[in-house]
Structure 1
Amino acid sequence: MQQDMLGRVALITGAGNGIGRETARQMAARGAIVGINDLKEEFVEAAVAEICESGGNAFGVVANVSTREGMFGAVEAARAQGEGFDILVNNAAWVRYQAVPDIMDETMDRMLNIGFKGVIWGIQAAAAAMDPERGGAIVNVASTAALRSTLNSVVYSGIKSGILGITRAAAAELGARNIRVNALCPSAVPTEGTQRNRNAERDAARIARTPLGRLGTVTDIARGICFLASDSAEFISAQALVVDGGSTFTNI
């Protein structure tokens, strides 16, 4: 793999497993110094060990990035690892699918704090840490649910739709500092976190309506994130890249 991120400092939130962990693997393989953030220390330690054993450069950041203090601390910990701060991937989320009558304050507040407010705190912290001339890249992980919703997803779809608005507004404001802000919208992919919402029948239905004929993988999604964070996307900002095998904008 090309070393097109050599020496760049990145922080990936919610990277203990799933999409975040695979993104960390790929960025480290491309030469980045990668910060692995998660609330669970054992996940962080395992991810860091795996990358370092493979010859990559990774470090752990155990922090609650749903709070402003936690996010600023995580970004500062990453910045201290190199000669600046270059890439933020706002990936952390906590998800519960609930029908409208079942939505409660506690569930909604936790989803909003991690998946919506955390993205704003991340953008704020990254903008403060990035060199005003060198700039940087921010990638916010949204979802195809921001574009086409499913049952029992009022809060989730609302948050992911909001991320697209946040992305565009931040791109407009931060572009003068050479900070690019983009979003990536993955379809449902098999991860540890999505197991509770998956079964063989549901997977078969998703495959049937996907033109490319398979479910996506964390590798597919991580490649898209790495592209948006790389110099290959140096004139791309305020965009939402859909990585879904063609399922959102077709009807088969």
Structure 2
Amino acid sequence: MPSDRRSVLITGAGNGIGRATAALMAERGWVVGVNDLKEEFAAETVRRIREAGGEAFPVVQNVSSREGIEAAIAAVVDETGRLDGLVNNAAWVRYQAIPEIAPETVERMLNVGFTGIIWAIQAAAAAMDDTCGGTIVNVASAAGFRSAPRSLVYSGIKAGVMGMTRAAAVELGPRNIRVNAVAPSAIPTEGTEKHRSAERDAKRIAATPLQRLGTVDDIARAIGYLLGEESDFITGQVLSADGGIGIAIN
């Protein structure tokens, strides 16, 4: 029998924004499918959620492939009897100057961050109930609006994510499936640590109207808002969670 608790699959939830979002949605009473390619990362997120009194289970799949994301969504449906939400958060990122861009880099970034999301939306829409509908949140980036050197592939992918968010919202709206995106600015996480420095952080803080860097919890709350009932009449939108840096003239 289907559970009476809403369920959500969060990809790339083994750390960073994905882990923070998984913790938040479990705290709000959702059953969380914690996806990560690395079993130990998914297990750690699940452990933390369960210790806090939430309900979660690991979903170890490579969601860059159609087969992988279909298996991940099937695991949530098998576990809970339903799928109410999907957060497409998984990413694999490399920054390269235009002369240095390698085919293998482009292929892997596209598989994880673009085509993987296409297959995820397709599979989630097939699994969501026609009456109750569901919510899909894609994690885009401020880089989809404005960019920097060495970001051609990354910025292109994130701009594409915004485009597919709008297209999916139009097509799936009649089934009461909402599709939105969150566009964070640079957020300190385990994955972005190697790209950060005190000097770079200081420049970003100075350019940000709110005068601080964002946190994974800031982004998790934005995602949680778009997943929840408070945003029931919002679809096809990109929510900038960037402290105002995208609107500031520097």
- TM-score normalised by the chain length of structure 2: 0.98
| Local SS of the residue matching 1:185 | strand
Of 220, 228, 238, 1:230 maps to 228
Matching residue of 1:146: 144
CA separation in 1, counterparts of 2:245 and 2:5? 36
C-alpha distance after superposition, 1:41-70 (max 9, x if no partner):
000111101100110000000000000000
Count of matched residue positions in the alignment of Structure 1 and Structure 2:
247
State the partner residue of 1:180. 178
CA offset at residue 250 of structure 1? 1.1
> Match of 2:17?
19
Deviation of 1:251 after TM superposition, in Å, equals 1.4
Counterparts of 2:224 and 2:86 in 1: how far apart (Å)?
A: 11
Q: How much does 1:83 deviate?
A: 3.1
Amino acid at match of 2:179: V
2:199 counterpart (179, 201, 222): 201
Q: Output the amino acid matched with 1:11.
A: L
Is the CA contact 1:9–1:81 (under 8 Å) kept in the aligned structure 2?
no
CA–CA separation in structure 2 for the residues paired with 1:239 and 1:153: 23
Contact persistence 1:123–1:138 (CA under 8 A): yes
Matched, 1:105 2:103: yes
User: Distance in 1 between the 2:248 and 2:77 partners?
Assistant: 42
Letter in 2 for 1:204: A
Aligned to 1:56: 54
Instruction: String of CA shifts for 1:98-151, please: whole Å, max 9, x gaps.
Output: 000000100110000000011101100100000011000000000000001111
Q: CA deviation at 1:213?
A: 0.5
Q: Whole-Å Cα distance in 2 between the matches of residues 119 and 14 of structure 1?
A: 12
Q: 2:46 is matched by which residue type in structure 1?
A: V
2:41 to 26, 40, 43: 43
Deviation at 1:186, TM superposition (A): 0.2
Q: Given that residues 137 and 229 in structure 1 are in contact (C-alpha distance below 8 angstroms), is that contact kept between their aligned partners in structure 2?
A: yes
Asked whether the 8 Å contact 1:72–1:122 carries over to 2, the reply is yes
Select which of 120, 123, 126 maps to 2:121. 123
Match of 1:132? 130
Whole-angstrom CA distance in 2 between matches of 1:146 and 1:217: 19
1:205 alignment partner AA: K
Whether the aligned pair in 2 keeps the contact of 1:142 and 1:184 (CA below 8 Å) is yes
| Offset of residue 158 of structure 1 | 0.2
Alpha-carbon separation, structure 2, partners of 1:83 and 1:180: 20
Equivalent residue in structure 1 for 2:6, among 8, 12, 18: 8
- Residue of structure 1 equivalent to 2:243: 245
Q: Contact 1:116–1:163 (CA<8 Å) still a contact in 2?
A: yes
1:192 maps to what in 2? 190
Residues in 1 aligned to 2:95 and 2:214: alpha-carbon distance in whole angstroms: 20
Q: Give the TM-score normalised by the residue count of structure 1.
A: 0.97
> Given residue 39 of structure 1, which amino acid in structure 2 is its aligned partner?
L
Greater alpha carbon shift after TM alignment, 81-90 vs 178-187: 81-90
- Aligned-pair distance for 1:80? 1.5
Runs of 5+ consecutive residues of structure 1 not aligned to the other structure: 1-5
1:162 corresponds to 2:160: yes
RMSD: 0.7
Amino acid in the other structure paired with 2:236: A
Instruction: Measure, in 2, the Cα distance between the counterparts of 1:92 and 1:215.
Output: 21
Aligned partners of 1:217, 1:45: CA distance in 2, in Å? 22
**Residue 73 (1) aligns with residue 49 (2):** no
Per-residue deviation, residues 11-55 of structure 1 (Å, max 9, x unmatched): 000000000000000000000000100000000111101100110
Q: Is this contact kept in 2: 1:136–1:178, CA < 8 A?
A: yes
Q: C-alpha separation between the residues in 2 aligned to 1:82 and 1:36? A: 13
Unaligned 5+ runs, structure 2: none
- What stretches of structure 1 move > 3 A for 4+ residues in a row? none
